[in-house]
Amino acid sequence: MTTEKIPYKIYLSEDEMPQNWYNVRADMKNKPAPLLNPATGAPMTFEDLRSVFCDELIRQELDNNTRHIPIPQDIRDFYKMYRPSPLVRAYCLEEKLQTPAKIYYKFEGNNTSGSHKLNSAIAQAYYAKRQGLKGVTTETGAGQWGTALSMACSYLDLDCKVYMVKVSYEQKPFRREVMRTYGASVTPSPSMETEVGRKILAEHPGTSGSLGCAISEAVEAAGANPDYRYVLGSVLNQVMLHQSVIGLEAKAALDKYQVVPDIIIGCAGGGSNLGGLIAPFMGEKLRGEQDYQFIAVEPASCPSLTRGRFAYDFCDTGKVCPLAKMYTLGSGFMPSANHAGGLRYHGMSPILSQLYQDGYMKAISLEQTRVFQAAEEFARVEGILPAPESSHAICAAMDEAMKCKETGEEKTILFGLTGTGYFDMVAYEKFHNGEMADYIPTDAELEASFAALPKL
């Protein structure tokens, strides 16, 4: 390994960008379990899914065997507007920590959506457009996914209807305005526009909404119009597929300098970033070509992998979506107001859940005040102001680097820096003012939530 010539940032040329997504399922011995129809308990078929998703995305969702799936030229052209994203050698952080570890991070925040979400947003919008659809619906909590989808739809001249959790709609007016800049219609959820929204408002007047409710509204709105489909920013197999571009680029950049990471770390909410970052490395591990240590980092307030059950569960609180087999805290679990909104999901990608179940990766959970400490330390030496979600990975990477300092090991650590925190300054302000609290659900709370898991 030649470390001397490694620049601060490794960029690929456009020629070196991936031409195919990598489908890790092709290399999994134990495939992720199929989605089930909640009414019949039978696996969801292509036909079952057609009213919700567009056709090509269903094919990708159900395809457990094709290893490489070509990225259409139009999507590759869009990627060129903000990709390849830099792979950064964290020289300044290494020096600050005085660690012998070599730290790299793949930075996905240098686009206007502020995160990696754009990688799948453009793919989902593209296939919807190619099918002749008029628009798509979705939900957004923290707002990164909604912003990404707005950008993709604007580029393709596709309608974009976003149901934004009401509390976020009110507390994050700037996120809302970015989406409006990109021509999206943004509705606070619950709304009077859908049956499920009216029902919830009648039962809970004045509710500030939840992601589960917003999903239900978005799915209902898509179903009500044959020219619309519903799209989702995480959890699904298709999303992991699209996000593999993160890992493929990272691996190509490291390969240029013959660098092989020992540890690969990503934050985990629904799994879109982690699944994408580790995909090609996990493929090598599954095929027995190379060993890597993978670490999923989740908030202690929403510990799906570390404290959840591996079971079939609803993907949404409103129980209108199919059942997925995954690590879950129960679809009724209400995460506390953790500021990493993108990690407040009760479940986890079925692919990652299966890999975790099979022992291919480990998971840890972190409390948010520690995470913000790491975020601030990182920002001051590396310049980038990280999103709270991403900061979970930063904190874990710094912990691993400090372990190397103790043992003297020169491990190579790669982590995913999924996005920037420009729209999270309220959380940073609370942290600065000492007003940030940690919250860990009790065993009793989790048991109560598990009791509501569907019986199959």
Nearer Cβ to its own copies (302/398):
398
Helix H segments across 257-338? 272-286, 304-307
Return the residue of 31, 43, 63, 92 that touches its own copies, per CB under 8 A: 92
Interacting positions 147-166 with its own copies (CB under 8 A): 151, 154-155
Q: How far is the CB of 276 from its own copies (least distance, A)?
A: 19
For the chain, the farthest-separated pair of C-alpha atoms sits apart, in whole angstroms, at 65
The count of chain residues that interact with its own copies, using the rule CB under 8 A, is 41
Query: Which of the stretches 31-39, 160-168, 356-364, 426-434 binds its own copies when contact is defined by CB under 8 A?
Result: 426-434
8 binds its own copies per the rule CB under 8 A: yes
In whole angstroms, how far apart are CA 135 and each of 59, 230, 396, 401? 20, 9, 39, 46
26 binds its own copies per the rule CB under 8 A: no
Return the residue of 112, 208, 306, 369 that touches its own copies, per CB under 8 A: 112
**Would you give the distance in Å from CA 111 to the centre of its chain?**
16
Nearer Cβ to its own copies (403/430):
430
CA–CA distance, 408 with 358 (Å, rounded to integer): 31
Return the residue of 50, 68, 134, 432 that touches its own copies, per CB under 8 A: 432
Nearest alpha-carbon partner for 386 in 157, 106, 132 = 106
Return the residue of 111, 119, 137, 138 that touches its own copies, per CB under 8 A: 111
Q: How far is the CB of 5 from its own copies (least distance, A)?
A: 10
User: E strands within 178-299?
Assistant: 185-189, 228-230, 263-267, 293-299
Return the residue of 170, 177, 195, 291 that touches its own copies, per CB under 8 A: 177
Helix (H) or strand (E) holding 162: strand 159-165
Contacts of 425-430 with C-beta under 8 Å, sequence gap 24+, read 426/171, 426/339, 427/339, 427/372, 427/388, 428/372, 428/375, 428/376, 430/339
Nearer Cβ to its own copies (273/420):
420
253 binds its own copies per the rule CB under 8 A: no
Q: Is the dihedral of CA 416, 306, 239, 63 positive or negative?
A: positive
Interacting positions 366-395 with its own copies (CB under 8 A): 376, 379-385
Contact 309, 455 (CB under 8 A): no
Q: Is 314 helix (H, G, I), strand (E, B) or coil?
A: strand
19 binds its own copies per the rule CB under 8 A: no
Nearer Cβ to its own copies (246/329):
246
11 binds its own copies per the rule CB under 8 A: yes
- Residues lying near its own copies in the complex (CB under 8 A) are found at 7-9, 11, 13-14, 80-82, 92, 110-112, 114, 151, 154-155, 173-174, 177-178, 180-183, 376, 379-385, 420, 422-423, 425-426, 428-429, 432
